Structure 1
């Protein structure tokens, strides 16, 4: 009987039925409920029978008035003498109103230390209740105990806001419970043995369109909420002039000129070298930070396309300036759609057996790693042209891929309007971030046979298609070259070298000594990891390069931060795994282009986190195609297919987790400083053991 029950149970869980999934989901909910009550709230359980310790306080930098304590020093202390008690918990609430915050350092004389031993400092906030209850780990009985309080000068709290060995209340987090439950349910649905891999991607089916649109809607809502996390950055367009450059450009265009309406100071005009950063400060010269200065005028060296396409219409319609984070949000939405469109065209052309679940999963990972995670952390002006270039690159490649159609006789034909739209999108990249025009080479790969074998492009019989491909480049190229010539006297000078920044970029040049550092830092540098939330942390790049190299706080190389990119790197060395040589060339050149762009960014500007957006999305194209190709190749080997699906799922989850953690890891313009309530709420939800 027992054996029969076991067989029935195995059979039940082996079958892909709605009943089984219902049971599994109920189990997940039950397990998560138990975890939320007894693991994530272990302090509540652990302190259930504790008795509060009442002891006399010795105060320094604090005035006592009845039951109130008023802090009169930036560094005040509260000391308990001769306790001789085992201390398990400290309760410290830095105020009775919202917004209270303090940094506290706890010290003790215990059985292992005859003089004060200090633990690492902790931040406590009235808006984050879990931060107020601190688990103490001193050795044995504590004789003396001291609390050093920073950041509360002038504040008053009640004595009841401080307690030793208090009972920690139950702090049930519905957000944590629901998110973890839904995540585990989703992972179960996406496990390699799941039925979802039986459904091939086919967006001509209504149910797949509905699911895809639902995913886009969820991403948009999530992105909109997350983009508001770093509240400090949202207001930069109001307070920092260099974040208002598109506004200044729009004002100039409306007045029918290209220079900005700022008259450079006479001191700047009279300098022998106005680009000498140290000399400007030595002479106390007034200047516009990060603006292009040329021939006695200020200009915007950032691509003008976003200003014309977004900022100008908004200004003309509303009379106001478009907040930069809104531009980031708009481009972010279009990038989500562009990724789905590009992946769909790749599937239609080369990998018809790709599961719908894989299509959706990789589209989400693609967007998060390529740019959207960084956009959440810093949705500022500098990101706008980069996101615009990525968006146009995605749509351009998608339309180019969709332009080629197989005829019934086996020949191919090209759809002119799709060619034209694709070329227009790619060409507009020049008006956003010119170095990303490197994706034009993908067009050469794609249409190589059309030009040299089938003669359906650049031949007498294909004049219409040839015009469709070339005319957008001619029009946009002419506009961009005129724009450059009108400002800087050369059609090929975009003006970035005239930037008034920390160094003279007119003398920067191309130095091979920076190449190795750029490749290592951007691609191969391991991240800095420890046991403190957010577990990965930014750091300064180390170098002994004897010259000028510009760096900011970095996170690590992209192969560490986005490990799923290893799949594309692997595919670049597996030529015979691709049935269509063009798909392999996309993979191979995506890796080459990523390396080239990393070198160019290191040479032209330096080592900055935001430049990841230049090449990660291109590298991701190779990863996507490799993943689809291998899944296609293994479709007749069920065991290997499931194993590979597990690899993709594992790399995807790790990449998404690292993307999320990286949002909180930046110390420059960090969320921790701008929005401490959010930062420490997330910290305590994840690092519940604190």
Structure 2
């Protein structure tokens, strides 16, 4: 069976599934999450497994990220909807494994001692233009400092996966495979997080809405990594995974646990996982600002004594202290600066060594333009399939606009009764804070950087939708149900088209003929 026929069949199934979900007679619309039976759990598990497989398996397709292609190659890709010639740099996909080898050998640098003397003799080795002019050989996108190469991505994925895998199997774990693990765990975590939120705070949420939102928000939260899974997305998705599970333990420890001792354990684990996210990708770890709402919930809890509250706060914050100290020592040992992960010393398209401090570079215009670009940018349609480019967050995925509702008076009052108002407001605001930091550190904002906060807007949108379905009239509820399902299926369609964009070493970048087969399949051969 040809790819064209497979696409046609999948597209037909997609249409039928949409009709099944959105039809008014769907019994799942009338089954609240608090009323589900064992058969619904069966459908839930099948959906979860299918979502993991559909999101994770395509990550192995790209010959660039799976290790088949080892040299730089000139290809064509879409930039803002225009087809241009670009060099696909051979970023070493195995930096995490090399760091693992380095740690096992008792040092922190990831080179073998063979460094181009021309690089060592440059007055400013971070000047990309001069490096190219002089023909200097260097390791692309690695941090160079004091005559050694270092990995500027956080070491936590190496400690969690790469070193244990090598010790157990004596073979190297590929970076895209690590992304598959973290993406799968992220999806499982998001399904579970949305489930406990629904069961404990939004009991009137229809099972159909929970199911379709769980799938849509899971795919949206890790979507870009499906096409470009290694190295960059390994860092992002590992942090997203840790933060999702951290939030789960925060919710259970501060809002749900009845036993005080169990609550303390949950809070400690939540703090530990959240702290580890700083060792994956710091911008994602800014989601730990949610701890402020957790602290507020602990303090205002009336059935706990002063001593118990103090112990909870200590156990919650202790992991941040110890993990923070460890990461600072790790940074200082490499760059003589406790707060430097290596970003300033990376060898890439811009000289980030000249960026200076955050205060020196603070510019309100840059912040405003960064937020407008990240959330509201509109790019022109391409003339060639897949026709789309990466628009701003709320333009590409209108369903995330529900997150704005957590600021409304009616929703805020409802959430306040359940102790979720501060939590939800922070969930909405943190993506803008992350955007400010991304604007500062990155030469330009990319779609993959939006993975830093997509999961937060997804959770905020779910909370807003859950609250809306609790307070709206039955007539408006039917309209809302249809809108939610329509926008959720739009997420699937958009993410599929994004997967088709030939960019960042993706599968279709190297096999453009696949795009023709997909286009014909979507038209059923017409």
Q: TM-score range by the shorter chain?
A: 0.7 to 0.9
Whether the 8 Å CA contact 1:192–1:643 is kept in 2: the answer is: no
The structure whose RCO (Cα within 8 Å, separation 6+) is larger is 2
What residue is the counterpart of 1:521 in the other structure? Answer: 373
Secondary structure of 2:213's partner?
helix
Whether the 8 Å CA contact 2:64–2:70 is kept in 1: the answer is: no
What residue is the counterpart of 2:344 in the other structure? Answer: 497
Greater Cα offset, 394-403 or 651-660: 651-660
Deviations 1:365-387 (A, max 9, x none): 1111122x312211121110100
Return the offset for 1:307: 1.0
**2:165 paired with 1:314:** yes
Return the offset for 1:229: 3.7
What residue is the counterpart of 2:83 in the other structure? Answer: none
User: Measured at CA, do residues 188 and 357 of structure 1 come closer, stay the same or move farther in structure 2, by a change above 3 Å?
Assistant: same
Query: As a proportion of its length, which structure holds more strand?
Result: 1
Give structure 1 regions of 4+ aligned residues with deviation exceeding 6 angstroms. 127-130, 411-414
Deviations 1:533-560 (A, max 9, x none): 3231x3xxxxxxxxxxxxxxxx211111
Whether the 8 Å CA contact 1:365–1:656 is kept in 2: the answer is: yes
What residue is the counterpart of 2:246 in the other structure? Answer: 396
Secondary structure of 1:580's partner?
helix
Secondary structure of 1:447's partner?
helix
C-alpha distance in 2, partners of 1:253/1:237? 27
Whether the 8 Å CA contact 1:414–1:456 is kept in 2: the answer is: no
**2:469 paired with 1:622:** no
Return the offset for 1:335: 0.8
C-alpha distance in 2, partners of 1:454/1:294? 53
Whether the 8 Å CA contact 2:59–2:227 is kept in 1: the answer is: yes
Secondary structure of 1:257's partner?
coil
Work out which of the residue numbers 428, 431, 438 in structure 1 matches 2:279. Answer: 431
Return the offset for 1:259: 1.5
Whether the 8 Å CA contact 1:248–1:260 is kept in 2: the answer is: yes
Return the offset for 1:426: 0.7
User: Measured at CA, do residues 359 and 177 of structure 1 come closer, stay the same or move farther in structure 2, by a change above 3 Å?
Assistant: same
Aligned length: 499
What residue is the counterpart of 2:86 in the other structure? Answer: none
What residue is the counterpart of 1:218 in the other structure? Answer: 50
What residue is the counterpart of 1:480 in the other structure? Answer: 327
What residue is the counterpart of 2:484 in the other structure? Answer: 648
Whether the 8 Å CA contact 2:331–2:338 is kept in 1: the answer is: yes
What residue is the counterpart of 2:495 in the other structure? Answer: 659
Return the offset for 1:667: 4.3
**2:408 paired with 1:573:** yes
What residue is the counterpart of 2:517 in the other structure? Answer: 681
Question: Between Structure 1 and Structure 2, whose CA radius of gyration is higher?
Answer: 1
Greater Cα offset, 518-527 or 230-239: 230-239
What residue is the counterpart of 2:99 in the other structure? Answer: 249
User: If the length of structure 2 is used for normalisation, what is the TM-score?
Assistant: 0.87
Return the offset for 1:292: 0.8
Return the offset for 1:273: 1.5
User: Measured at CA, do residues 494 and 467 of structure 1 come closer, stay the same or move farther in structure 2, by a change above 3 Å?
Assistant: same
Greater Cα offset, 518-527 or 660-669: 660-669
Deviations 1:201-233 (A, max 9, x none): 249953343222211211233234422343443
User: Measured at CA, do residues 221 and 437 of structure 1 come closer, stay the same or move farther in structure 2, by a change above 3 Å?
Assistant: closer
**2:186 paired with 1:335:** yes
Whether the 8 Å CA contact 2:411–2:467 is kept in 1: the answer is: no
User: Measured at CA, do residues 577 and 460 of structure 1 come closer, stay the same or move farther in structure 2, by a change above 3 Å?
Assistant: closer
**2:30 paired with 1:207:** no
Return the offset for 1:669: 3.0
Return the offset for 1:689: 6.7
Structure 1: unaligned runs, 5 residues or longer: 1-126, 131-172, 539-554
Whether the 8 Å CA contact 1:419–1:469 is kept in 2: the answer is: yes
User: Measured at CA, do residues 565 and 576 of structure 1 come closer, stay the same or move farther in structure 2, by a change above 3 Å?
Assistant: closer
Structure 2: unaligned runs, 5 residues or longer: 72-89
User: Measured at CA, do residues 389 and 407 of structure 1 come closer, stay the same or move farther in structure 2, by a change above 3 Å?
Assistant: closer
C-alpha distance in 1, partners of 2:164/2:93? 19
Whether the 8 Å CA contact 2:48–2:215 is kept in 1: the answer is: no
C-alpha distance in 2, partners of 1:300/1:174? 41
Work out which of the residue numbers 105, 110, 126 in structure 2 matches 1:260. Answer: 110
Greater Cα offset, 619-628 or 343-352: 343-352
User: Measured at CA, do residues 285 and 676 of structure 1 come closer, stay the same or move farther in structure 2, by a change above 3 Å?
Assistant: closer
User: Measured at CA, do residues 222 and 524 of structure 1 come closer, stay the same or move farther in structure 2, by a change above 3 Å?
Assistant: same
C-alpha distance in 1, partners of 2:456/2:406? 14
User: Measured at CA, do residues 402 and 316 of structure 1 come closer, stay the same or move farther in structure 2, by a change above 3 Å?
Assistant: same
User: Measured at CA, do residues 225 and 647 of structure 1 come closer, stay the same or move farther in structure 2, by a change above 3 Å?
Assistant: same
**2:201 paired with 1:364:** no
Secondary structure of 2:317's partner?
helix
What residue is the counterpart of 1:147 in the other structure? Answer: none
Secondary structure of 2:141's partner?
coil
User: Measured at CA, do residues 177 and 504 of structure 1 come closer, stay the same or move farther in structure 2, by a change above 3 Å?
Assistant: closer
